[in-house]
Amino acid sequence: MPTTVDVTPTLDIETRLFINNQFVNAVDGHTCKVLNPHDGSLLCEIQEAGTKDVDAAVAAARNAFPAWSKMPANERGKLIYKLADAIEADREYICKLESLDTGHPIRDTYNLDIFRTVATFRYMAGIADKIDGRVVQVDPGFHNFVLRQPVGVVGSIVPWNFPMMFVSWKLAPALAAGNCCVMKPAELTPLTALRIAKLAQNVGFPPGVINVIPGRGSVAGQHLAEHMGVDKIAFTGSTPVGRKIVQASSTNLKRVQLELGGKGANIVFDDAPLDAAVGGSAFAIFHNQGQACIAGSRLLLHEKIADEFLEKFIKLAKSIKQGNPLDPATEMGPLTSAGHRDKVLSYSKVATDEGGKILTGGKAPNREDLAQGYYVEPTIVEAKPNDRVCQEEVFGPFVTVTRFKDEAEVLKIANGVIYGLGGGLWTNSLQRAHRVAAEIRSGMVWVNCYKRVSPGSPFGGVGESGYGRDMGVESIHDYTDAKSIWINYDAQIPPFYKR
C-alpha cells in the first residue's frame, strides 16, 4: 500500500437507503449523523430507515425471490464473482471509507479486511452450484431424496466493528443459496455496506435481490426481526440484543442465526513458544482495538512463565503505535464511538474496585493530537476469575490476566463464563493441544495462533455466544431448508388399502 493516504479530496459517500436496486431517501425523512472516531468530526448524515422503509425493502426482496431462487446456480455464482472483483478493484476507496467510518487502521483494512471480504464472496460464489442434496436408502419400490432449497427472504443485521467483512459473511452465503436479502448495517458504520450495494448495482444484480437499509436497531432492526415477510434473521451483535431478536422472531417462527458476545480464554502453558505467544496474544486482544467478539480477552498464564511473559507482553503493549487510522504506521486506532470508549474506560474502575491491578493502560492516551478522538490505551489488568472484568464482555483493548497451576484448574477457569465463541492455547505438546482443545467449551479453538478465519471454516459459538454458523458449508445449511421427497416408482398400493 502507499506510504501515505491522501484524504484531502472529498469522498463521494452514498448516504441513501438501497431498496429495489435504487438509492432512495427514507420515507419519514429521518437522518443519522456518522462521525469520524479519530476526531469526532462529521463525516456525513445518512438516511435512517423506519418501519415503512423496512416494509418496502422486504416487499422488494419477496418480489425478487421467485426469479432469483430459480436462476441457474452457476449464474448466481457468476454475479457473486463479479461483485467480488468489483470490491477488489475498489480497494483504495472502500478501505479508506472503512477506516474513516470505524477507526480501524488502514494497514488492517487494506491488508486484511478487504481480502477476507473478497475471499468470502469468491468462496460462496464457487459453492453456489455445489449445494447438494442426498439420497436416502429406504424400502424397496421407493426412492427418497433430500433437496436443499433457499429459505426465502433473509434479514441480516450486522454490527459496527467489522462492517465491510460482516457484509460478506451474511450476504455471500445467503445469495449463493438462492435467497434475497434485506441488510441492516449499524447506524454508526453504514458506509461500506452502502458502497457494496452500489457495486452490486453496477455489476448487474437484479432489483430486490440485495437491499441495504441503515437504521437504528430499536426501530429498523426490531421491525425486520418481527416482519411476517422475513423467513430468517441472521444477526451478529451483543447477547442482550440477541435475546430480543429471538423474542421478535416468534411472530412467524422465522429461523434465527445468532453470533453473539464472547469472552475468549487465551491459555499460555509453561511449554509454550513464548515469543510467539506474546505476539499472538497481543493480536488476539489489541487488533481492531479489541472490538471483536472472538478477542482473547482473558489471558490465562501458567504460574511458571507468568512473570517472564508479562514482562514481554507489557513492553509490547506500551510500544503499540496509536494514531490516525489513515496513517499507515498506526497500529491501533480509536474505538468506534464516544459512548463505547466511555464504557470501556469504566471497566478500569470496576477492576480496581474488586481488587484488580492495572498493569498498564486503563485510561485515554495523554496526547493532544488524539484528544478529540475515542482512544483508549492498551490495558492489561490482573484479576480473579470471578471478577466482573473476567466475566463480562468489555469489547475493547482490555485484557485480564489470571495465573493457573495445572490443566484441571485452567479448564475450569476457561469454561467458567456464560460465553462460548472462541478460545486458544499455546503449547509445544501435541497431546496437550488435542486434549485441551477438545475440552474448551467454544465453537472455535486456536492452537499456537489466534483469530484465524477462513471462508471455508465455520464461525460461531455455543452457550450465550449464540447458534448457527457463518461461513463454510455449514452456513449454506443455515440458509437452506431440507426437503424430503418420496417417489413410489412401482406405484404400490399400501397393503391395508388393497381390495
- Residues identified as active-site: 259, 293
How far apart (Å, rounded) are the C-alpha atoms in residues 164 and 193?
Answer: 6
Is residue 53 within 8 A of residue 215, CB to CB? The reply is yes
How far apart (Å, rounded) are the C-alpha atoms in residues 320 and 332?
Answer: 7
Residue 499, classed as helix, strand or coil, is coil
How far apart (Å, rounded) are the C-alpha atoms in residues 203 and 144?
Answer: 40
Joined grid coordinates for residue 255 = 429461523
Please state at what angle helix 73-89 crosses helix 163-176, rounded to 10 degrees. Answer: 160
DSSP states along 429-478: -HHHHHHHHHHS-SSEEEESS-S---TTS-B--EETTEES-BSHHHHHHH
- Sequence-ordered list of residues with C-beta below 8 angstroms from that of 207, at least 6 positions apart, any chain: 20, 21, 22, 60, 64
Is residue 480 within 8 A of residue 149, CB to CB? The reply is yes
